[in-house]
Structure 1
Amino acid sequence: MTKTAPRKPASFRVEEVEVFVPPEPTAIPAEERALPVPQVRALPDLRRGLRWGSIFLGALGGLVSLVASLWLYDWVLSLIARDDWIGWVAVVLLGLVLVALLMIILREVAGLMRLGRLGKIRHEADSAARQNDKVLAIDVTRRLKRFYAGREDLAWGLDRLAEHEHDIMNAEELLRLDERTLIAPLDPVARSIVAASAKRVSVVTAVSPNAIIDMMFVAAQNLRMLRKLATLYGARPGTLSLLKLARMVVTHIVLTGGIALGDDVIHQVVGHGLTAKLSARLGEGLFNGALTTRIGIAAIDVCRPLPYVEQQRPRFREMVAEVAGLGGNGRSA
């Protein structure tokens, strides 16, 4: 490696030094430095214009209604023109049909309104209990008195409520008084309705040889149970209100997460040893009875106009054990 000889010192003037200045970079416009943004194409217009299917169904329904109305009008005129007993009997029967149809409509409307009143009372009672609102609790008490006015089975409770409702109480105590005098006497009856329906479903589905018959019987028995429970708590449902109540019960079960029924629940209720000895049909009957019990408990929650302030909510396992005739195992579970 060769070494370079050191440079000898020399003098120079500053003016004679050449300073190297690097060229300035060419300014790039901002729109050129940025990456190109891809243009998103707009979605095509999905509107299909006129809904010809809806127009067709609406026009067809109107045409059929018009033809039926004209046929009925001409038929009634022809009966009246006969001026004999056949025509007058037909006119009287037609009048009875119209009156019955009107009464059915009024009953359905009244059932829907009473079911709505039950739900509103329950909502206000929940709010009064959570917020300890005395004014709202007083309003709930007044609504309950109007709702159950005239019921002979609750006459004693209405009289006792009228005697003590003006005592010095907070919201929770007033709701407890409402529950004790008006709702608590109805709860054992509701529990007996659910237990009887579940037992009937268990027995029939255990001995029935046809699955379709089982499904039809379970559906009919559950609808009958819903009607009884709603009538007990004051709803008096018709056909439409009964279907609405069924939808409310199913929604309540789904929201509360209580639809899961399986062998683990049956085992916990009646014991592993007994379920192992049961036949497949008996196990299926017990399962259907447990499902009916769960639907009944949910129906009580929906139809009951007050929350459980002092009374205890029916326990699923205890009621299933009662349906199975094994009360001891269910209470110990």
Structure 2
Amino acid sequence: MIDFLVIGGGIGGTSAAARLAPLGKTVLLEREPALGYHASGRSAALFEANYGLASTVALSEASADFHHNAHGGFLSPRGLMLVGKKGEESEFHAACDHLNMQQIALDQAFDMVPILDPETVGFAGHHGEAFDIDTDLQIQTFAKITRSHGGEVLTGQTVTAIERLDTGWRVTANDTDYEAKTLFNAAGAWVDEIARMAGIAPLGFTPMRRSMARIPAPGGHDISGWPMMLGIKEDWYAKPDAGKLLVSPAEEHPQEPHDAWADDMVLAEGLARYEEHVTEEVTRLESSWAGLRTFSPDRNLVLGPAVDDTAFFWVSGQGGYGFQTAPAASQLIADIVAGHKSDLDDVTLAALNPKRFA
């Protein structure tokens, strides 16, 4: 019998499996042909520790050392710039306070991003401690760790049945039965569906679509050193990526779990909001896509054993913060399993505990 069976091969599942593998026989099942296929493969891939709810910030701060140093590190410098239009002074300062960001002179902002429009942009803030995450390297590193401890990472595995046994669980995938003492639900947008299959009460997770467009480097600029740009209402952002610019409308539209695609109208509206802040018109899209960022009802992550069955663990509700929180979130899962005291504070632990939905 397997000790730990993880369903889901995104960053939540792969990081949890890597932490569990030293504690017992671990198997990870991923439905798609590759790890990180859905939300994890469509991430903005930014580590900004000040971004998110208090519990998310605590997890991100606790993950920082891993991101910077473990296995040679996964981060490269990027920076985050907050951009506000003239007449938006109060909203700008509120956004700066929320992100612990300092206002910078407009001349400095225009030097950093020369396409910002001086006719419309009235305020800018900047935080240098924001970094690109090598997301594929991180997922593959976690998978490698799992395998190095004798665990298995299996792709192309569609779970069709979950049965509770006296000794644990029987999970059927691709006509193969896996018996495990403890089940870990890291199925992203499908976490409530997996819970129902296991006879566990769903918690009411909501997948939210987030669309993205890739456009040519504006004006032919070398944009490699530009920061990620964020509108003060968080209704658009833009980020350099491999010589191109990613632009998102930053929408949160509830969806049923599925392989998401971009909504053309929503994408056009987001690009228009971005264009209000810059001098270069968007004339061509090279590609577009979407992912589902899945939130719990209170938008905190859900990490730990289910109230109705302690042999069923939630590793769920990352809501777009999966990569930046994964090192600490997975460590918390392993600490609970091993009976170790977590380094996280009690307020954070309570905010993450599935018991809050009891």
Query: Shorter chain as normaliser: what TM range?
Result: under 0.3
How high is the TM-score relative to the length of structure 2?
0.19
Higher relative contact order (CA 8 A, sep 6+): 2
Larger gyration radius, structure 1 or structure 2: 1
**More strand per residue:** 2
